Structure 1
Amino acid sequence: MSKTEEKDGTEITADEINHLEMSRGERPEPSDFKFNFSKARDMFVLDEGGNKIKFGDIYKHQKTIVIFSRHFLCFICKDYIEDLAKVPLEFLQEAGVRIVVIGPAPNKFIQSFKKETGYMYTMYTDPERELYNVLGMKSNPQFGKGSGKNKHLKHGMISGILSSTWRAMKSQEYQGHVRQQGAEYILGPDEEVHFMHICENSTDQTPINELLQIAGVKPVSFPKDKPIIDV
């Protein structure tokens, strides 16, 4: 692979995405993917109790939407996970799909973040960001000029920063590295890659309904999406 090109014309090299070939937002044939799981599969994430879970075990038996989030005090991340929490369990069960969120924070913050967002599916953390680094996720302070295109962003810049600041004051602890950007994957079962997107900035998350569509899950009506009509 030399390089691929996203819809916005951004070139992505092999070094940046670690042996994977695809175009964002499309559903390529399995032969289009060349992803090297050799390093990532045996790396560990932490559950709420501090137990180590192999990354490869997360998607081994079932198709899984894996969201790598930003730090837990990020209002953009909070807005996104709040909407992810609205995906009905019956939609996932019907499609045989699960959702997993991984954050770059100490595992002791999992319980409080799930309570704040209403998210009740599986959540792990990678506090040292070792998995984030192996999978080529970016670390930069960029907010993103296209925040208006983010279908899950509920706050404006000022109100969002104030909200994050207030939560940080209450916590009095960092809940993940502030420069760390995230990514979205659809993996499994076994080492099959259905979709991958590495975020360029903090507002660059893949729309949730796009992930659901690719995973074969029924869409959800979000305020910024076009109305869903059942026929």
Structure 2
Amino acid sequence: MATAHDTKIVVDIENFKLCTVMKEDGESISIRSLWEHQPAIFVFLRHFACDACRRHALDVWENRKKYEEKGAKIHFIGNGSPHFLAEFKKTFGLQEASFYTDPTLKTFRAAGFKKGFWIDPGTMHSRPEFLYKAIRFAARKENAGSGNVWQLGGVLVVCPGALPTYQFTSLTMGHFPPINDIPVIVASAKKKLETVDT
């Protein structure tokens, strides 16, 4: 059975715009700087070792022209240690992509994305299988710092002026927005902003 789409905008934008994210070299930047001059499409990933998130990141990047043709910019946000960013980008040929991380999960919380021991594994695993894999994953030394296995992600579009215009909240593992949703939202939001400016 298909998972319902949750596109209600729930971000606490006042708290969200106070958050910082980290580059792969560990430098922190204000997240609000990413939407000052153009709409920002934030793609939040569960963690850098998540197979579903890797596929989603590749899918988004392969379709980046469709996402960015209306003047927006894609930014991927994970929650692992900064050093995982370079490895993730190199492994999957995403060196040109804009990647940040937030190990504190403050951006995830302000955005309203779901987290907890009882997150729904969706169709990818049975519940017992997911719990077994998640606990085993968290216990493996080589995965330390790759991110929070209990965190779900989603997509958030924020336009200049701290205006959230689209949000997709993942309800299960591997639950991502339809590829055609975001460009339409960005185009209509940009048109609305241009109307206000004139």
**TM class by smaller structure:** 0.7 to 0.9
Q: d(CA) in 2 for partners of 1:184 and 1:143?
A: 18
Q: d(CA) in 2 for partners of 1:181 and 1:93?
A: 24
Aligned residue runs from structure 1 range 77-92, under 5 A: 77-89=53-65, 91=66
Aligned residue runs from structure 1 range 1-231, under 5 A: 8=4, 24=7, 36-89=12-65, 91=66, 94-119=69-94, 120-141=96-117, 142-145=119-122, 147=123, 171-216=142-187
Matched positions, count: 177
Post-superposition Cα deviations, 1:65-117, rounded to whole Å, max 9, x if no partner, equal 1111111111000110111121245x566421110011011111111111222
**Structure 1, 122-131 or 195-204: larger mean CA deviation:** 195-204
Distance 1:101 1:175, change over 3 A: same
Distance 1:209 1:93, change over 3 A: closer
% identity of equivalent residues = 23
Conserved? CA contact 2:85–2:100, under 8 Å: yes
Conserved? CA contact 2:68–2:183, under 8 Å: no
Q: What SS is found at the alignment partner of 1:196?
A: strand
Shift of 1:169: 7.0
Distance 1:36 1:175, change over 3 A: closer
Conserved? CA contact 2:113–2:153, under 8 Å: yes
Q: d(CA) in 1 for partners of 2:10 and 2:46?
A: 26
Distance 1:38 1:128, change over 3 A: same
Q: d(CA) in 1 for partners of 2:43 and 2:26?
A: 19
In structure 1, the partner of 2:193 is none
State the TM-score, normalizing by the size of structure 2: 0.75
* Residue identity matched to 1:84: V
Flag the structure with higher helix content.
2
* Residue identity matched to 1:124: Y
Distance 1:95 1:140, change over 3 A: same
Q: In structure 1, list runs of 5 or more residues that go unmatched.
A: 1-6, 11-22, 26-32, 148-155, 218-231
